[in-house]
Amino acid sequence: MSQAEIALYLYPGLTRDHTISGPCGKALMALRYKGLKFRFKALNTPAEVRKINPRGRVPVLQIDGEFFPDSSELLDELERRYPEPPLVPQDRVAQLEMKLWEDWADEVLYFYAVYLRWIPDNAFTLLKERFFSRLSWPMRVLAPAVARRTVRKRALGQGIGERPEGVVRQEFQDALALLDGWLVDRDYLAGTHFSRADLSVAAMLDQIVHPVVPPALEDAVAPFLNLQAWRKRVLADAGTAAG
Ligand SMILES: N[C@@H](CCC(=O)N[C@@H](CS)C(=O)NCC(=O)O)C(=O)O
């Protein structure tokens, strides 16, 4: 039986087949891990996104004409339709760990990546130069300003936007240290196999070592050797999403 027609709507990265969005990266890595064939549908503006998803967010997955927004909801659907190879552990404790890691990645780690790339002026300048400069005028001027306004609003809504940069950097560093400690005697984050937990955390971290972010951010990840080894393992299983 032939595979369903699958398309992934996402914000693209610097190169085709990549993305500048953590949640889109999560969907991308899940599709790759499951070995599914799919088409990339790059969207560039909130208006384009709203045509596909009234919630105004990407990623959105299309399977045989049906749309599934939200990285977690679309992973549920993928698992339901394509259970092999599994992305959810059998063991109940591992399932709980997986859920906690995925929620932490989506709601906490995601916002560190967003804040550190968009809020400090020097990071935003790099983003404009390295990412948005490829757009044609006037989009190259308008898009980053409009996107930054949205990002600020979202960061304030989550709470991180109210915290000073130094505090956020320290919190982020502490989070990496905890993650590194968790991985001291484990190959994967939840249970003993690759799962949605690994995808979710790796996709967000991928954004932090993305070519458009300041090198200092990549340096932040460098001292954590367990984390580095785990990252290599996960990217070998599901491919890199950022680039
Ligand atoms: N919880 C959602 C978050 C998706 C999300 O926030 N996507 C961003 C791109 S990284 C977006 O579409 N932002 C547009 C906006 O905030 O208006 C998921 O996991 O899919």
Give the model's confidence band at 226: pLDDT under 50 very low, under 70 low, under 90 confident, else very high: very high
Residue 241: what pLDDT? Answer: 81
Identify the H or E element spanning 61: strand 60-63
Q: What is the pLDDT of residues 62-109, one digit of tens each?
A: 999 999 999 999 999 999 999 999 999 999 999 999 999 999 999 999
Residue 1: what pLDDT? Answer: 67
- At residue 40, the 3 state secondary structure works out as strand
- The answer to whether 28 touches 10, Cβ cutoff 8 Å, is yes
Average pLDDT of the chain to the nearest whole number: 95
Residue 134: what pLDDT? Answer: 87
Question: Strand order of the sheet with strand 39-42?
Answer: 39-42, 6-10, 60-63, 66-69
Residue 61: what pLDDT? Answer: 98
User: 40 forms bridges with which residues in the sheet?
Assistant: 8
Which atom of ligand 1 lies at the shortest distance from residue 74's CA?
Answer: 20
Per-residue burial over 39-54, b if 16 or more Cβ lie within 10 Å, else e, is eebebeeeeebeebbe
Mean pLDDT over 128-148 rounds to: 92
Helices (H), the chain: 22-33, 46-52, 71-81, 92-104, 110-118, 121-130, 139-158, 165-182, 196-208, 215-221, 225-238
Residue 202: what pLDDT? Answer: 96
Residue 125: what pLDDT? Answer: 95
Mean pLDDT over 214-223 rounds to: 88
pLDDT at 201 over 80: yes
Which atom of ligand 1 lies at the shortest distance from residue 56's CA?
Answer: 17
Ligand 1: list residues with CB < 6 Å: 11, 21-23, 46, 56-59, 70-72, 106, 150, 154
Report the separation in Å between the CA atom of 185 and the middle of ligand 1, taken as the mean of its atom positions. 33
